[in-house]
Amino acid sequence: MRIIITGGTGLIGKMLCSALLADQHQVIVLSRNPEKVNNMPLGVRLEQWDGKTAANWGQLVEGAGAIINLAGEGIADGRWSKERKQRIRESRIHAGLAVQEAIRQATNKPQVLLQASAVGYYGPHGAEVVTEETPLGHDFLAKVCHDWEASTVGVAQLGVRRAVLRTGVVLSTEGGALPKMMLPFKLFAGGPIGGGKQWLPWIHLQDEVRAIQFLLNQENASGPFNLSAPNPVTNKEFGKILGKVMGRPALMPTPGAAMKAVLGEMSTVLLDGQRAVPSRLQELGFTFTFPLLENALRDLIK
C-alpha cells in the first residue's frame, strides 16, 4: 500500500522506510527541504510540505493506505529557551493538524494513522510502574505530548483507525541519545547521572521499527501504546551495563546540579524518568527481539 510518513528523514524514519520498502509498500516522505535530504533508502519518494498545512501534498492522501506522523523538532537539540519550547510544541501541533486536515479532505481516506508521541506524556513517576492507563503528567513534556496527540484525535470521527506511539529512549549508535551517553565512557569518565535512581524506558531501534510495523498491520490496534522494552532500568543500572559492554568503568557520577547548570530545564530528560512498560503492545502479542538491555547494547556496540 501507499504509506505517507512525516518526519521520515530522522533516525526512526529512515530505518522504518527501509523496512516498509522491504515489505513492498510504496513510501512517500514529506520534507520541508527535500533537496537537502541525504542518504534516504533507495525507492523513497520525497515530497515538499510546509509542516503546517495540507497545501500541495494533501492530494497524496487520496487512496493512501496509511499515514505515519513522526514530525516534530528534536527536544534534545539545545537548551529550552522560551522560543525553543514554543518551536518544540508548535512543530508537533501544526504537523498533526495538517495531517488531520489532509485526511478530512480525502474522499478515499487512509485506513490508519500512526501518531507519534513519547512516554514523557506521563511526567516523572519515580519507581511506579507506568502503563498506558497511567494519567497525564503536569510538566512541560507531558503537556507537549498531550497537545501532540490531541492534534490528530479527530481522525477517529472520520473513520480512520488511530494508534498513538508513546516512545521511550530509542537506542542506536547512528544517532539519538546513545552516542552522547557513550562519550563519557570512551573517556573513562562514565557513571550514573544525578542520583541514578531515575528510570530509563529504552527501546532498541530495531524493535521500535518492528513495533510500528506491527501496529500498522494490527487492525484492532487503536489508542495509546508504550513503545519501550519490557525491562526498563534505572540510570545507575544503565551506566553499569553500558560500561560492562564497552569495557569501561562506571564510577564517575555526574551531579544533578551540574546537569541543571549546563542544560537548564532540559535536564529533566536525564534527571527524571518513567518506569514505562509496553503492556498493551504485549497484550496484542508483540514480542521483542531485544527485551534485555545488555543484549541490546551488545548488538549495537560491535
Q: In sequence order, what are the residues at sequence separation of 6 or more whose Cβ sits closer than 8 angstroms to the Cβ of residue 290?
A: 204, 206, 207, 229, 296, 299
CATH value at residue 40: 3.40.50.720
Tens of pLDDT, residue by residue over 90-138, are: 999 999 999 999 999 999 999 999 999 999 999 999 899 999 999 999 9
Q: What is the pLDDT of residues 250-269, one digit of tens each?
A: 888 877 776 677 667 767 77
> Residue 177 falls within a domain, yes or no?
no
Contact 281, 226 (CB under 8 A): yes
Strand, helix or coil for residue 125:
coil
The answer to whether residue 195 is domain-embedded is: no
Structural domains counted in the chain: 1
**What residue type is assigned to position 113 of the chain?**
L
Residue 298 lies in a domain: no
Query: Is residue 185 domain-resident?
Result: no
Radius of gyration of the chain from its Cα atoms, rounded to whole angstroms: 19
For the residues 196-218, what does the mean pLDDT come to? 96
**With 80 as the cut, is the pLDDT of residue 26 above it?**
yes
Is the whole-model pTM more than 0.85?
A: yes
98 neighbors 30 (Cβ within 8 angstroms): no
**32 inside domain:** yes
Q: Range with the lowest mean pLDDT among 132-141, 151-160, 185-194, 205-214?
A: 185-194
Does position 153 have pLDDT exceeding 80, yes or no?
yes
* Segment 35-56, tens digit of pLDDT: 999 899 999 999 999 999 999 8
Domain range for 138 is 2-168+204-228+275-288
Residue given cell 498506558 in the structure block: 132
3-state helix, strand, coil in the chain (%, to 5): 40, 20, 40
